[in-house]
Chains A and B, each alone.
Chain A
Amino acid sequence: MNFWNDLIYFFSFADANINNVLLGTILLGFTCGIVGVLVVLNKKALIVDAVSHSILPGICIGFMLSGVKDPVYLILGGIIAGAISVFLVDWITSISRIKKDASIAIVLSFMFSIGVILLSVIQESGNSNQSGLSDFLFGKAATIIESDLYVFGFLSLLVITVIPIFYQHFKIALFDPNFAHTIGLKNRNIQILISALIIISTAIGIQTVGIVLISALIITPASSAFFWTNNFKKSILLSGLFAVISSVAGVFISYLSPLMPTGPWIIVVLSTIAIFSSLFSEKGMITKKIKGRKNRKKMISDNVLKYLYRIGEDDNTATKGRTFDEIKNFRSIEGKELSEGLKILTGKKWVIKAGALWMLSEQGTKEAKRIIRIHRLWELYMQKFMQIQSDHVHESAETIEHIITPELEKELLKHLGKPAVDPHQQNIPYED
């Protein structure tokens, strides 16, 4: 019961502190989530790590210069340091044979080292305001207060409005750089804009999950979104949604059990969504496997049905009962597959078993005719409209016969008239 009370209280928006934290994490999560789509599509996933670790010295310098923990100075310092890191990574790779990944690792550890040194200097200076600076390492979602919200809110809204404004530019530059070039779109400017968005969202996103985990808040929701949709706009929204759900879940978990850290829990929820998507979405592994199995079953049963009909087709005894071996020897089909196919077909009542004999039911005959009809119509179509030799058309028809829908069949008939025979001079069976 306690859990439900907590749940209701948490989402009743009665507690101003909780509201600040919730609003903050939702805004930051959404910002990072939508920028993530640009990052992943632009293959910049790893640069986020360099940026996030570099923000530490920026925050420290911002603090040292201002002497207070004013979010404006901290974020400003972070953004400048992030920009320096992006510049350094590109500079190192452009001037030497050091590869991009090594360059990222160099900048990351170099800048982070500076940050740690500055952090220790600040701690020793005895400035009482410094407590909490190290919160940036793992995020400090639970301590977001109203004044933080204004700063994050402004930057989040900036990012959130820039994306729809430059939506078309991003779309063209990311999906078709050549076309972007021909219409005079400056790819360099787009890249700079994307880098700026990465730096800003990283700098503010650190507030919720911290330096080490921020790359996950940006990359993981986008990677998950691509499993559900190919549409650019939808993937942006979905990615934002995933990030928001995880952020709220993380805040809620640490609200229930204060020992639980918010940032790491946000990441655990996000990763769970990612792995779930890779398994169960339409493009997911398990969905694909199930589909594959279903297709295989359909192909086997279609083939068995076809063979049963074809054995007696020429002497008009298609509906006569056949033994297992008779079917098996008609076309070389494996015994295991044949029994599997027969099992599926008897289940559908398309094939009836009488003693040791298998025969087509009325419904089964109709279906068998349909498959053979499609096969032969397709062969004819290929020969007539694609100028393919008649001895080359069978293979393709063998595949297409499992796929063509009644609508496509109608189309075929419209183009072909109602032909009597296929390219091999075999009768095309029609419904009576």
Chain B
Amino acid sequence: MFDFYIILTAAVIAINCSLLGSFLVLKKMSLIGDALSHAVLPGIVIAFLISGEINSFWMLLGASSFGIIAMLLIDWLSRVGGFGKDSAIGIIYTLLFAIGIILITSKARNADIDVDCVLFGDINTIPLLETTFGVPAPLFNLIVIGIINLVIVAIGIKGFKITSFDSTYAKTLGISIPFWTYLLLGLSSITTVYSFDSVGAIMVIGFIVIPASFANILTRKLPQFLAIALSFGVVSSIIGHLTAIYFDIPTVPSIGVFMGLVLIITLIVKGITKKKVVLEF
């Protein structure tokens, strides 16, 4: 049961992240996901300091509010403040992450939340945690979020699709691009927050971007795109964890290395079989 829960947790995170990641990658917003996963840290720590527990409603509230604050600040700095978009993202997420780390090291020492957990996650403790309806609580939450994500994407698939592939066309149809963008970012930040303590702030971006990019090099049709991305995420979680057990190494980075290697090998194979490769340094 122990390994099953770990694989299941990783797989559910992979499904959540690659589903939203597909649209983020198509919208060329991959790094916003990265920025969000770092920027929510102060929200998580503050909520933890107030409520005293991980995985509470307060944490979601704190993290979501910092996700929104980060988005607004990035938007404000780049639009009004005169910073380039890249710089604005870089400045805001590092600032918020730095504040989060300061709060952890100075206020929350020796508590359940620590710096290593923030960076690497703690997926191996999942099976040991309290259960909700017979499933470890964090896994249960992730499943609920997964269902919410799937339902919202299923209902809004048309809006997500048009705004991701052809924003000009979407505009002429009168579809609100900000609405779908912020819906996507909202779902992404909730997903990020709940994936956070399992896979860590840095690897979340791997789960978001690599499966979607893998799909991106294989297909241009959305149903296939999503199918490839999601199944790639799930298969990587299973193989990644099994490899981790075999070599006695941590699970989450094994999944990351597996995903990255498969992507790189696919690119090489595609490059050899298709056309001459032009390298540009």
Contacts and interface: CB of A to CB of B under 8 A. Distances in A.
B82 A212 contact: no
B86 A45 contact: yes
A265 interface: yes
A96 B270 contact: yes
Contacts, number: 213
B271 interface: yes
A110 B206 contact: yes
A36 to B, nearest CB: 10
B94 interface: yes
A92 B267 CA distance: 8
B254 A117 contact: yes
Nearest to B278: A94
B281 A215 contact: no
B38 interface: yes
B271 A268 contact: no
A110 B257 contact: yes
A188 B209 CA distance: 29
Given A46-B31, A102-B209, A261-B105, A213 B256 contact: no
B109 A259 contact: yes
Contacts of B206: 105-106, 108-110, 112-113
Contact of A110 (B28, B115, B256): B256
A49 interface: yes
Nearest to B208: A105
Contacts of B153: none
A309 B47 CA distance: 66
Interface centre among B95, B105, B259 (most CB of A within 10 A): B95
B226 interface: no
A192 interface: yes
Interface string A118-156: 001100100000000010011000000000000000000
B210 interface: yes
Contact of B102 (A95, A219, A268, A285): A268
Interface in B92-120: 94-95, 97-99, 101-102, 105-106, 109, 115-116, 119-120
Given A53-B202, A90-B280, A278-B77, A113 B253 contact: yes
Interface in A19-52: 40, 43, 45-46, 48-49
Contacts of B25: 99, 102
Contact of A188 (B98, B259, B281): B281
A97 interface: yes
A45 B253 CA distance: 25
Given A219-B87, A227-B82, A212 B94 contact: yes
Contacts of B248: 124
A113 B257 contact: yes
A388 interface: no
Contacts of B280: 90, 94
Contacts of B245: none
Contact of B260 (A113, A137, A285): A113
Contact of A113 (B94, B109, B256, B277): B256
Interface residues of B, number: 67
B186 interface: no
A43 B101 contact: no
A271 B255 CA distance: 34
A81 to B, nearest CB: 14
A239 interface: no
B281 A46 contact: no
B159 interface: no
Contact of B94 (A46, A215, A285): A215
Interface string A68-108: 00000000000000000011101110111111011111111
Interface in B6-42: 25, 28-31, 33-34, 38
Contacts of A283: 82
A374 interface: no
B249 A120 contact: yes
A223 B102 contact: no
B83 interface: yes
B136 interface: no
B61 interface: no
Contacts of B31: 46, 49, 101, 104-105
B147 interface: no
B216 to A, nearest CB: 6
Contact of A90 (B106, B120, B203, B281): B281
Interface centre among A106, A110, A215, A219 (most CB of B within 10 A): A106
A368 interface: no
Interface string B244-279: 000011101111110111011001001100000111
A260 interface: yes
A17 interface: no
A283 B31 CA distance: 28
Contact of B99 (A96, A263, A268, A279): A268
B95 A216 contact: yes
B250 A106 contact: no
Contacts of B209: 102, 105-106, 109
Interface centre among B80, B209, B270 (most CB of A within 10 A): B209
B91 interface: yes
B94 A213 contact: yes
Interface in B116-140: 116, 119-120
B268 to A, nearest CB: 8
Interface string B72-94: 00000100111110110111001
B249 A261 contact: no
A138 B101 contact: yes
A429 interface: no
A268 B216 contact: no
Contacts of B205: 105, 108-109
A279 B77 CA distance: 10
A116 B120 contact: yes
Contacts of A103: 213
In order of increasing CB-CB distance, the 8 nearest A-B pairs are A110-B260, A109-B206, A113-B256, A216-B94, A113-B253, A264-B98, A267-B98, A271-B95
Given A106-B209, A285-B81, 16 more contacts: A87-B281, A97-B217, A98-B213, A99-B30, A102-B216, A112-B253, A113-B260, A116-B253, A117-B254, A195-B281, A213-B94, A216-B91, A219-B91, A223-B91, A261-B106, A268-B99
13 contacts: A49-B31, A49-B90, A98-B216, A101-B28, A106-B210, A113-B252, A116-B250, A120-B249, A216-B91, A219-B87, A271-B94, A278-B81, A278-B82
